[in-house]
Amino acid sequence: MRSLAFALGLLTVLPVRSPAPTPRLGAGALRWAPVVGAALGALAGGLLVGLAALGVPTLAAGLLGVGFLALATRGLHVDGLADTADGLGCYGPPERALAVMRDGGVGAFAVAALVVVLGVQAVALGALAGAGLWAVAAVALAAATGRAGFGWVARRGVPPARPGGLGALVAGSQSWWVPVAWWAALAAAGLVIGPRAAVGVALGAALVVALSAHTARRFGGMTGDVLGAANELAVTAVLLAVATG
């Protein structure tokens, strides 16, 4: 339960009093992350359905849903996506990429990634706005799938790219089968929504695996920013798959 409290304090804006961070708590928090994500997704889905019931235009409802998820996580994952995009977009050795990621500015690659990824999320959420409880389930599934990717990025054998920060706290802390088990369970749950949901989970998992492999080579390991980028890509894959058709 201490790990769950740490996960809530780290991954949400809830005023949860959590213990001081340790590698053990960080590892436990990543294992709880899909549960936290599912809860946030359910809340975002409920907001989406409520806005649709009030007659809010679908795209506006989708944008507000994206905004809610960003606010509920202090923008942690969105910031990770932006920094990872800038790091991957620069030239030079890993040290150069990590320096770009530490910089407080937002570059062209970050802007492009945010516009595309968050734009697709907003349109997909808007398309689901009139689906009632199915929309709530779909957004919960997407948010849980995104957080399940944390375990793969922080799997054993992948070192931290730099000392300090969330990446160094959790790097190498997860057995490979933990995220795989989460993805398998979520894909099975997605079949209740429909085959497209299960396909979305599989696509999201594939994107996380590819991102982790590429960033580990490019940065010399994993960082906390890569966790955020992995989450946003997987969430987008599930939402797009469910909303398509």
Please tell me the predicted confidence (pLDDT) of residue 113. 97
Please tell me the predicted confidence (pLDDT) of residue 27. 93
Element (H, E) at 194: none
**Rounded distance, CA 22 to CA 37, Å?**
21
Copy the structure tokens of residue 136. Answer: 């709530």
From the list 69, 54, 52, the residue with the least C-alpha distance to 11 is: 69
3-state SS, 13-45, equals: CCCCCCCCCCHHHHHHHHHHHHHHHHHHHHHHH
**Rounded distance, CA 81 to CA 83, Å?**
6
Give the CA distances from residue 177 to residues 42, 183, 221, in Å, rounded to whole numbers and listed in that order. 26, 10, 19
From the list 14, 4, 9, the residue with the least C-alpha distance to 35 is: 4
Please tell me the predicted confidence (pLDDT) of residue 166. 85
pTM score? 0.95
Please tell me the predicted confidence (pLDDT) of residue 65. 97
Please tell me the predicted confidence (pLDDT) of residue 21. 83
Local confidence pLDDT in tens for the 245 residues of the chain: 788 989 999 999 998 877 778 889 999 999 999 999 999 999 999 999 999 999 999 999 999 999 999 999 999 999 999 999 999 999 889 999 999 998 877 889 999 999 999 999 999 999 999 899 999 999 999 999 999 999 999 999 999 999 888 899 999 999 999 999 999 999 999 999 999 999 999 999 999 999 999 999 999 999 999 999 999 999 999 999 999 97
- Yes or no: say if 148 and 36 are a contact pair by the CB < 8 Å rule: no
Please tell me the predicted confidence (pLDDT) of residue 171. 95
Residue with tokens 């790097």: 171
Angle between helices 133-153 and 23-53 (to 10 degrees): 160
